[in-house]
């Protein structure tokens, strides 16, 4: 998988936005592409060095992945409890990378979907019925 295919996959998940927000902090972060759902990060990559993917995860899933694969690194943001770095040059199959991205997307979307609906309702908008992601 190359960066273009990866980007297309992330955007295909629905309601996903992409930004490169960290360049304003330091030039070395200019190439970080971040994917958001409901205005919250679920995944980020370095477009100039597409050798790893950082995904949001649960502590349980991080422990499970560590027991299965050697190609896991320290996430770029060093948030070891909730982020997982998947090194693409190692023993992690492409399908597992896609699954990890989809899981990160669902994790973030489910966490913030209720909060976003509650916010709209407080502002006087009618809440929409929410269906689970399959």
- Where does the pLDDT of residue 116 fall: very low under 50, low under 70, confident under 90, or very high at 90 and above? low
What average pLDDT does range 107-126 have in this prediction?
68
Residue 130 lies in a domain: no
Lowest mean pLDDT among 61-65, 106-110, 114-118, 124-128: 124-128
Pairing of strands 72-73, 83-87: antiparallel
Residue 65 lies in a domain: yes
Residue 41 lies in a domain: yes
DSSP secondary structure string for all residues of 36-49? EETTEEEEEEETTS
pLDDT at 14 over 80: yes
Residue 113 lies in a domain: yes
Residue 44 lies in a domain: yes
- pTM (global) more than 0.75: yes
DSSP state of 28: G
- Where does the pLDDT of residue 114 fall: very low under 50, low under 70, confident under 90, or very high at 90 and above? confident
What average pLDDT does range 21-28 have in this prediction?
81
- The per-residue pLDDT of the chain, averaged, comes to 87
What range defines the domain where residue 74 resides?
3-122
The domain that contains 39 carries what CATH number? 3.90.1150.30
Residue with tokens 């990378």: 97
Residue 86 lies in a domain: yes
Residue 133 lies in a domain: no
Q: Which residues pair with 40 in a beta bridge?
A: 37
What is the number of structural domains in the chain? 1
Residue 88 lies in a domain: yes
The listed range with the strongest mean pLDDT (28-32, 77-81, 92-96) is: 92-96
What average pLDDT does range 63-67 have in this prediction?
95
Distance of alpha carbon 48 from alpha carbon 70, whole angstroms: 23
Instruction: Say what the pLDDT of residue 123 is.
Output: 53
């Amino acid at each position: 998988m190359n960066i273009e295919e990866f980007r297309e996959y992330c955007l295909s998940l629905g309601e996903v936005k992409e930004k490169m927000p960290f360049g304003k902090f330091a030039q070395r972060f200019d190439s970080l592409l971040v994917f958001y759902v409901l205005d919250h990060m679920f995944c980020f990559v370095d477009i100039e060095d597409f050798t790893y993917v950082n995904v949001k995860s649960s502590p349980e899933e991080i422990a499970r992945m560590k027991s299965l694969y050697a190609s896991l690194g320290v996430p770029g943001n060093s948030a070891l409890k909730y982020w997982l770095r998947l090194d693409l040059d190692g023993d992690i199959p492409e399908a597992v990378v896609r699954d990890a991205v989809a899981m990160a997307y669902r994790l973030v979307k489910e966490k913030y979907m209720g909060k976003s609906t509650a916010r709209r309702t407080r502002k006087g908008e009618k809440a929409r019925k929410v269906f689970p992601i399959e």
